Amino acid sequence: MLPYHTSILNYNLYDQILLHGKIFLLTYTRFLQTVGLVPQGFSGCYKRQFVIPESNTSLLDQEPGLDEETREAVRFAIQNGSHQSKSRAIPVYHRYKNSTEMMLISGMTILDQNTGKSVSLLHQTGIPLSLVQFTSYKSGYLIPLLEQYERNPNLSVRQLASKSGRSYKQLQKECKLYFGTTFHSFFLKLRMLHVINDVMFTGLSLKEIAFKNDFSDYSNMYRRFTKQYQFSIQQVPRFLNMI
């Protein structure tokens, strides 16, 4: 969604990208809370934003109250994306933790291909470690199985269990250990995230988004959001309409 002819020195563009990034993160967090993947009562997810010109991370040292873990995380996130320097907008994503929180640095580095100048527009979000439920259970087959189901949702969960050499009951037990819910319930939550992405980042109508995400019609998708998840799809921003 980066306007092609926009100058990298356009500070209004910085403000717009940062605002949209914050809205995106807060919308995602609100949905994840609704479906039980983030604790309901937690409201302090969003921490701060950073504007770093020319990858000059020494500017971080001038920000009061910024912990060293965050400084290092921002430096690493920007440097890690530098190998994609042929792109005009380079995604930035780095997850880390400090002594009390699980943290995420996300955003983008914008590169002016004519001048070689760049600016990084980043956000920091976090969640207290006390609210994160860690488990020692690991599964090497559930994610590939989920991806297979996304490609072919006509398969039944029992068929997927058989393909993985497990009983239906065993598959569901391992899903609850790994995903915190049943296989199909977790799949539906992922599909809702795909819908939210399409609402925010495409110009498709809600009816087109419903068909794209394998709903029989818009009404079916609407009911899924409002009745099952109590989440209003009308409140999801449409960024293409804001540019």
Domain ranges of the chain: 11-131, 142-241
pLDDT at 211: 94
pLDDT at 9: 52
Residue in this structure with the two tokens 């988004």, named with its chain if needed:
209
- Fold classification of 142-241 is Arc Repressor Mutant, subunit A (1.10.10)
Q: How far apart are CA 224 and CA 2, in angstroms?
A: 32
pLDDT at 2: 44
CATH assignment of 11-131? 3.30.450
- The model's pTM is 0.81
pLDDT at 99: 86
pLDDT at 237: 93
- List the pLDDT tens digit at each of the 243 positions of the chain: 444 444 545 668 889 999 999 999 999 999 988 888 887 767 778 999 999 988 888 888 888 778 888 999 998 888 876 655 556 788 899 999 888 899 999 999 888 777 778 899 999 999 888 887 776 767 788 988 999 898 888 889 999 899 889 999 999 999 988 888 999 999 999 999 999 999 999 999 999 999 999 898 999 999 999 988 889 898 899 988 776
pLDDT at 40: 73
